[in-house]
Amino acid sequence: MSPPANSPKPYECIVIGAGHNGLICAAYLAAAGRKVLVLEAGEEVGGAALTREFSPGYRVSAAAHLLHLMPSSIVQDLSLHRHGLVLAGSQLPTTALSDAGPLTLSGGSEIALAGATAADAKAYPEYVARLRRLAAALRPLLEQAPPRLDSQAWADRWALMKIGLRIRRLGRRDMRELLRIGAMNVYDLLQEHFESPLLKGALAFDAVLGTNFGPRSPGTVLTLLYRLAAEGGAGTGGVSQVRGGMGALSKALAQAAQIAGAEIRTNAEVQRLVVDADRVAGVELRSGEIIAGATVASSADPHTTFLRLLGAEHLDAGFVRRITHLRSRGLAAKLHLALSDLPAFDRVPPAALGGRLLIAPSMEYLERAYNFSKYGEVSEEPALEISVPTVRDSSLAPAGRHVLSAIVQYAPHTLKQGWGESRQRFTEAAIAAIAAHAPRLRSLIAATELLTPADLEQQFRIHGGHWHHAELAFDQFFMVRPVPGAAQYRGPIDGLYLCGAGSHPGGGVMGNAGRNAARQILREAA
Amino acid sequence: MSSNTVPHFVQPLLKTPFHERARLHSQIDSFVPWAGYTTVDVFSTVEQEYFAIRNAATLYDLTPMVKYRISGPGAARYLNRLVTRDVGKLKPGRVSYCVWCNDAGHIIDDGTIFCLAAGEYRLCTAERQLDWLLDSAVGFDVQVSEVTEQIAALALQGPTSCAVLKRLGLAGVEKLKPFEIGQFNLQGMALTVSRTGFTGDLGYELWMDPQHAETLWDLLLAAGRSRGIRPIGSRALNIARIEAGFLLPNMDFVSAEHTIRTGRDRSPLELGLGWLVDFGKGHFTGRRALWAEQQRGPARQLVGLDVEGNKPAHNAWLYSDQSGKQQVGNVTSATWSPTCKRNLALAIVDAPFIRTGSQVWADIYLSRELVWERRMASAQVVERPFFLPERRRATPPADF
């Protein structure tokens, strides 16, 4: 394939998708001197990290609404604060709601509980400190390409040895604890440490947020450690809120990429990858335009990348089988309420509304909410992570008005009955769960939007509508993420790389997948 | 097939539509399981049946061979991605011998693809593998279904086989070229005839509705009486297929889907089937692994051996010299060939010994009236097939 005549120099790398991972990948590649083109199907950059108007005058982060996973090194490397990233708040407290009164968990460096029993208040700092030590040992894993197990290369062997060494360096007690709890479920772990159902519910929610798990599901300590490891890399900011919503972060990333030299085209949906002599040689847009590129890095999910854009005919059948078996159905829905006034929550000080509110009053509550999803039904009493971003950022709503944004679980991508009637029922259940703590809420609601995983799939082109593109679980983790044969960001066909959430270390607004992929491309592709 | 209504746990083996006829002809009541069916391994004696293959005509019930219907607008592209050979240009009325591999380039099975019409194929295999075939169908506009029980099949092989079919009334059957398919109508019964087989001789395979199976069996035996026709079992066929140099799954290789130990998988390059691998046709499963293997050269290969003496080298270890110190391979199939008058074997040998003319030593064990004796026999790597008569390819075949 030859480049079009009007193009002076063909692109060295084409990045598919201008989500945060795609933009970060492009920014690092461009900063290293590569000629990079980013193609985004949507009207604006951001992918699912987007701020959208959902009702006239009311804007909200369409998917993830809090920033707590992105490494501080990415923020610094790309000078995001210079490119417009402003935090409306950081070190946000978490308030766990219950009928018996709330419990406040302070994050960041000040580990403290307000409203807990004496025993829990004593156990909590110890528990957090230990988990943070364990997570710190795992943190470097997030920032590297996973080593290959069957490899003869020294780099791979050395990487594996370093993992073992780091775990060994934890010392006997912590190492033993890591190996003991590593594959456990979070329910059992929290039962060992705490007595208050509310505290356990709040801590367990962090382990299952955005996953296909209940607290009793195996491997939920791993998802918790993963979250803590990423939060450790994010520095001291703790849970933060981006001014202007998550879309503002994407705009800063886009600006960083462009200033580094990357070109970004929106409304440019890639229809398929162009294959020439058994290597990916470019892309074809929906318009029919063909753009040549020496390498293509896709931040689309693995299913979309391999089966829709590349096509099974270019892949081995066993690899296709692994991709089709990838568990990638989302269970987290997003609820947006336009409110005429700030709702008052029972016994919650107004200042706490600027933080994170949780409705997960016990682990049993979470587990019951999860049960429905096993049978293709929505939770009757869902669990929620709530943010009222307008408390800290008035730009998102008309003066005096407010926006409530909530992640609501569990809402399976595919329902036995279909989403038709269930949408209304689930929305009602979510509002009822909030209204139980904020009695005036219903009278304040001016508009409602519910984004189910099926909506996320359709609007953000994520197969299955999963925030992580593929479930974060032992069998889809690290060296086998997304599947064996594509775990080093490299597809089984030359010239194709993965740089999205489906690759290690997964999704959330973190960006490590995009940066690791860029480094891999710089190492391998001339 | 009324006997098939017995519960499977009482009688787990199925009976083919020819079973009752086979029982009538069986002199020694020797049945063996094959792919879930009970089939004959010897009707009378192996020698009688073998010589009928090479000198007259034989009937062999191959109904248990697993058969898949593959159809749809994407069927040709699907098959070309499945198998290593270029079957994109396979025309209606033609058959192609193929192997297919897993991602690592190791053989899952070998078999034949029948192109019955545009977008309409039949794949005949040794092993059941609907799972693999369906997984391979992801992304292709194709339907795959198993049709083994819906088609009865007989192999009619031997120098007089064409004459038998002509006598049966199949006008023009002599015009069929090797690997060609013909459709015939015999007294209202549809009969598909392909000039294919597993004997390396002149021969045909007949495909029919199971309800006509017994009638056609009777008609064939009647039409072939003057041409020496007789039913044969798998033992005689095995001698003929070794002479022809054909591989038998689970004898000469084990499907990569079934191996447990590392290093027991075989690639087509290792089995000497490199001529079936087309790197230029576009992607197929295992292509990248096979290309890498081709670049570094296979570590071992299946070869034909001509072994000294007349004692078949069954399961023999092969050594670099007579001292038997350095093992360089092992025999997978062996037979004394009555037609070639040679002691033949198929064997896997290490790379330094794969060239024609290489010499290795076979360690042969013989039971002599309950006492085991050992012979170290010299063996030469020779070209395959060992037996290739002109009549196998001549069209029209001579009227034997």
Here the tokens at position A127 are 């528990």
Residues of A in contact with B283 (CB under 8 A): 278, 313-315
Residues of A in contact with B138 (CB under 8 A): 307, 312, 317, 320-321, 324
Lowest mean pLDDT among A232-246, A328-342, B35-49, B154-168: A232-246
Mutate to test the interface with A, among B100, B138, B265 (most CBs of A within 10 A): B138
Tell whether A484 is within 8 A of chain B (Cβ): no
Q: What is the mean pLDDT of residues B181-199?
A: 97
Burial class (CB in 10 A: 0-12, 13-18, 19+), B373: exposed
Q: Which stretches does DSSP call E strand in A390-495?
A: 402-409, 445-451
Residue written as tokens 């993992």?
A: A163
Q: Which stretches does DSSP call E strand in A317-387?
A: 332-339, 356-359, 383-387
Residue A495 vs residues A52, A296, A524: alpha-carbon distances, Å = 34, 6, 10
Out of A307, A311, A320, name the one closest to residue B135 (CB).
A320
Q: How far apart are CA A525 and CA A294, in angstroms?
A: 8
* A320 Cβ neighbours under 8 A, 6+ residues apart: A306, A307, A312, B135, B136, B138, B139
Say whether B304 sits in a helix, a strand or coil.
strand
Burial class (CB in 10 A: 0-12, 13-18, 19+), A164: exposed
Q: Looking at residue A107, what is its pLDDT? A: 66
Q: How far apart are CA A239 and CA A247, in angstroms?
A: 17
Here the tokens at position B91 are 């025309």
- For chain B, counts of helices (H) and of strands (E): 8, 20
Q: What is the tens place of the pLDDT at every residue in A132-167?
A: 999 999 999 999 999 988 788 898 999 999 999 999
Residues of A in contact with B282 (CB under 8 A): 313
Q: Which residue has the higher pLDDT, B385 or A350?
A: B385
Q: How far apart are CA A65 and CA A337, in angstroms?
A: 14
pLDDT, chain A, mean? 94
Q: What is the mean pLDDT of residues A214-238?
A: 91
CB atoms within 10 A of CB A351: 10
Residues of B in contact with A320 (CB under 8 A): 135-136, 138-139
Q: How far apart are CA A372 and CA B178, in angstroms?
A: 62
- Cβ under 8 Å to B: A residues 263-282: 278
Q: Confidence band (pLDDT; 50, 70, 90) for A332?
A: very high
Q: From the CA of A315, how many Å to the nearest CA of chain B? A: 7
Q: How far apart are CA A176 and CA A161, in angstroms?
A: 18
Q: From the CA of A213, how many Å to the nearest CA of chain B? A: 28
CB A313 to CB B283 under 8 A? yes
Q: From the CA of A395, how many Å to the nearest CA of chain B? A: 47
Here the tokens at position A525 are 């592709």
Q: Looking at residue A108, what is its pLDDT? A: 60
Q: From the CA of A494, how many Å to the nearest CA of chain B? A: 10
Q: What is the tens place of the pLDDT at every residue in B220-242?
A: 999 999 999 999 999 999 999 99
- On the question of pLDDT at A111 being above 80, the answer is no
Residue A500 phi, psi (nearest 5): -105, -170
What pTM, to 2 d.p., does this model score? 0.94
Residue A493 · residue A124 · CB < 8 Å? no
Q: From the CA of B135, how many Å to the nearest CA of chain A? A: 6
Here the tokens at position A151 are 């490899």
Q: From the CA of A475, how many Å to the nearest CA of chain B? A: 20
Strand ranges of the sheet holding B30-34, from the earlier edge strand across to the other edge:
B14-15, B37-42, B30-34
Q: Looking at residue B2, what is its pLDDT? A: 47
Residue B139 · residue B146 · CB < 8 Å? no
Residue type for position A469:
H
CB B135 to CB A324 under 8 A? yes
Say whether A135 sits in a helix, a strand or coil.
helix
Residues of A in contact with B77 (CB under 8 A): 313
CB B139 to CB A312 under 8 A? yes
Q: What is the mean pLDDT of residues B311-329?
A: 96
Residue A413 vs residues A374, A386, A409, B189: alpha-carbon distances, Å = 11, 21, 11, 53
Tell whether B335 is within 8 A of chain A (Cβ): no
Tell whether B140 is within 8 A of chain A (Cβ): yes
Tell whether A485 is within 8 A of chain B (Cβ): yes
B191, β-bridge pairs: B184, B208
Tell whether B225 is within 8 A of chain A (Cβ): no
A with B: how many residue pairs have Cβ under 8 Å apart? 49
Residue B257 · residue B97 · CB < 8 Å? no
Residue A272 vs residues A6, A71, A169, A307, B376: alpha-carbon distances, Å = 22, 32, 47, 10, 61
Q: Which residue of B has its CA nearest to A315?
A: B285
CB A318 to CB B288 under 8 A? no
Residue A385 phi, psi (nearest 5): -110, 115
- Write down how long chain B is: 400
Here the tokens at position B83 are 């198998």
Residues of B in contact with A315 (CB under 8 A): 283
Q: Which residue of A has its CA nearest to B100?
A: A317
- On the question of pLDDT at B3 being above 70, the answer is no
Residues of A in contact with B292 (CB under 8 A): none
CB B103 to CB A324 under 8 A? no
Q: Looking at residue A3, what is its pLDDT? A: 46
Residue B202 phi, psi (nearest 5): -60, 135
Here the tokens at position B229 are 């026709």
Query: What distance lies between CA A465 and its chain's CA centroid?
Result: 12
Q: From the CA of B288, how many Å to the nearest CA of chain A? A: 9
pLDDT, chain B, mean? 96
**DSSP code for A125:** H
Say whether B88 sits in a helix, a strand or coil.
coil
Q: Looking at residue A106, what is its pLDDT? A: 79
Here the tokens at position B230 are 């007789």
Write out the DSSP string of A169-230: TT-HHHHHHHHHHTTS-HHHHHHHH---HHHHHHHHHHHHTTSS--TTSTTHHHHHHHHHHH
Say whether A95 sits in a helix, a strand or coil.
strand
Q: How far apart are CA B126 and CA B67, in angstroms?
A: 9
The runs of H, that is alpha helices, within B12-143 are 19-25, 46-55, 75-82, 130-136
Q: Looking at residue B8, what is its pLDDT? A: 76
- On the question of pLDDT at A1 being above 50, the answer is no
Q: What is the tens place of the pLDDT at every residue in A10-58?
A: 899 999 999 999 999 999 999 999 999 999 999 999 999 999 999 999 9
Residue B233 · residue B43 · CB < 8 Å? yes
Residue A450 · residue A333 · CB < 8 Å? yes
CB A316 to CB B132 under 8 A? no
Q: How far apart are CA A376 and CA A382, in angstroms?
A: 14
Q: Looking at residue A78, what is its pLDDT? A: 97
Tell whether B296 is within 8 A of chain A (Cβ): no
CB B139 to CB A321 under 8 A? no
Q: From the CA of B114, how many Å to the nearest CA of chain A? A: 22
Q: What is the tens place of the pLDDT at every residue in A67-102?
A: 999 999 999 999 999 999 999 999 999 999 999 899
CB B285 to CB A316 under 8 A? yes
CB A316 to CB B288 under 8 A? yes
Out of A311, A485, A493, name the one closest to residue B139 (CB).
A311
ipTM of the complex: 0.93
Q: End-to-end alpha-carbon separation of chain B, Å?
A: 36
- On the question of pLDDT at A386 being above 80, the answer is yes
- On the question of pLDDT at B352 being above 90, the answer is yes
CB A316 to CB B287 under 8 A? yes
Tell whether A318 is within 8 A of chain B (Cβ): yes
Residue A216 · residue A369 · CB < 8 Å? no
Mutate to test the interface with B, among A280, A309, A313, A490 (most CBs of B within 10 A): A313
Write out the DSSP string of A464-480: TB-TTSS--SGGGSGGG
Q: What is the mean pLDDT of residues B70-85?
A: 98
Here the tokens at position A120 are 């829990």
CB atoms within 10 A of CB A463: 23
Q: From the CA of B242, how many Å to the nearest CA of chain A? A: 32
Residues of B in contact with A305 (CB under 8 A): none
Q: How far apart are CA A287 and CA A465, in angstroms?
A: 25
Residue B288 vs residues A96, A493, B105, B167: alpha-carbon distances, Å = 54, 9, 8, 50
Q: What is the mean pLDDT of residues A438-449?
A: 97
Q: How far apart are CA B301 and CA B289, in angstroms?
A: 17
Q: Looking at residue B1, what is its pLDDT? A: 44
Residue B316 · residue B332 · CB < 8 Å? no
- On the question of pLDDT at A5 being above 60, the answer is no
Residue A73 · residue A85 · CB < 8 Å? no
Radius of gyration of chain B (CA): 21
Q: How far apart are CA B281 and CA B270, in angstroms?
A: 21
Lowest mean pLDDT among A294-298, A479-483, B5-9, B102-106: B5-9
Here the tokens at position B176 are 């069929």
